[in-house]
Structure 1
Amino acid sequence: MTGSDSAASGHDRWLYLFIAWIVAVAASLSALFIGEVVGQAPCSLCWHQRAFMFPLAILLAVASYRGDAGAWRYGLPLAVIGMAIAGFHSLLYAGFIPEGIQPCSQGPSCASADMTILGMLPLPYLSLAAFLAIAVALIGSRPKAAS
């Protein structure tokens, strides 16, 4: 392996990390826009998803700036837990979760028609896609094993 191969590999890892950060920032700013500008109150599950997305935006910014090859170790668990919550929320929104175990007892419904943007894009699905994209990018950012 030449030095240029090693440098390209490091650049690719940084690029994946940077992409994960961009997705986390876009998702965080979108959530803030929907809540604060549009005025749509987040449901209980949306709050839980925010609790995992907002820290990712900060952690991945620092990791990208520092070129931290180990960022996947602390970013991936946040993304996977957020993805699990978003997956549950998506199943609830789609009607696959019975009403008896829905977590929303106060505030906006987690499965209401208000959980869309532009009248057709369900927020739970967008959140799931964002967490999935971050997880995939973080997996791509892992250093390659020595062969």
Structure 2
Amino acid sequence: MRRLGSREWLAIGTLVAAIATAGSLYFSEILGLVPCDLCWYQRVFMYPLVLVLGIAAFEDRPEIAPTALAFAIPGAMIAAYHSAIQRVGTGACTVGGGCTSIQYELLGLSIPNMALLAFVLVAITMFAAGRSPI
């Protein structure tokens, strides 16, 4: 079985970021859910990853990994905090209501849980891309 190269890992990271971005747009534009403040911050860190990783995958540039991690790690931290305050039930936001409300769940995962999963998957693909043969 052939090991994945850096280009493939970058492409997988791009796909994860693109699905997360499309999902967030679906929730707000199609389902009409209003993002809270923490959701907006998560979007700020996820959306650029589609472009950054897409270009890096096209050019096969695994050295982009530190830049991508500079988006993925803070995004994951915000999503983890958001997930935690949803479960605890305390915390406040202004736009779109409280960050503690669970507006949508899929397979038991709330929107910030899904964002956390996406950020972690992007981070994993970046570590793999950096360690893969070109």
TM-score using structure 1 length = 0.82
Pairing partner for 2:13 from 4, 14, 20: 20
In the superposition, relative to structure 1, how do residues 80 and 118 fare at CA in structure 2: closer, same or farther (>3 Å)? closer
In the superposition, relative to structure 1, how do residues 32 and 67 fare at CA in structure 2: closer, same or farther (>3 Å)? same
Deviations 1:88-125 (A, max 9, x none): 101111117xx3xx2413432211131x2358431111
Kindly indicate whether residue 114 of structure 2 is the aligned counterpart of residue 126 of structure 1: yes
Where structure 2 has 5 or more consecutive residues not aligned to the other structure, the ranges are none
Pairing partner for 1:108 from 86, 89, 97: 97
The structure with the largest alpha-carbon Rg is 1
TM-score using structure 2 length = 0.89
Percent identity, aligned pairs only? 30
CA RMSD of aligned residues (A): 2.1
Kindly indicate whether residue 78 of structure 2 is the aligned counterpart of residue 90 of structure 1: no
Q: Partners of 2:75 and 2:129 in 1: how far apart?
A: 19
Runs of 4+ in 1 over 4 A off after TM superposition: none
Kindly indicate whether residue 37 of structure 2 is the aligned counterpart of residue 49 of structure 1: no
Q: Which residue does the alignment assign to 2:72?
A: 79
Q: Partners of 1:119 and 1:25 in 2: how far apart?
A: 20
**What letter matches 2:9 in structure 1?**
Y
Aligned length: 132
Kindly indicate whether residue 53 of structure 2 is the aligned counterpart of residue 64 of structure 1: no
Q: Which residue does the alignment assign to 1:5?
A: none
